[in-house]
Amino acid sequence: MNLLLGHFRCRVRTGTPVAISDVTITPRSVSIVIEFSHAVWAWNLPVGIEVERNGIAERIPIVDSTRWILLSLTALALLSGSLGLRRTLRKGVDS
């Protein structure tokens, strides 16, 4: 799957399969790439592994705790910033 919007790309990547006896494990990740005029920002997120055992394939998701921590901290920063701005604007109106 590829998503291409101007200088923004998002694609699911499949890594090199590793076989150990009758089990084959294939890593999967999502890569997000944003291109600027003189720089490129890329972020790879693990999404899971695909395990094939005795001809039966199973997808096992990987929970990326770092992503959840970053999203939580971002939400907290936006909330506290908007509350601070609201308080500042109210003080200006009350004065």
pLDDT at 28: 95
Max Cα–Cα distance, the chain, nearest Å: 76
Regions of the chain where pLDDT drops below 50: none
pLDDT tens for 42-59 read: 988 889 999 999 889 999
Q: What residues are paired with 27 via a beta bridge?
A: 49
* Domain boundaries, given as residue ranges, for the chain: 1-62, 64-95
pTM of the model: 0.59
Cβ atoms of 58 and 50 within 8 Å: the answer is yes
Find tokens 């601070």 and name the residue.
84
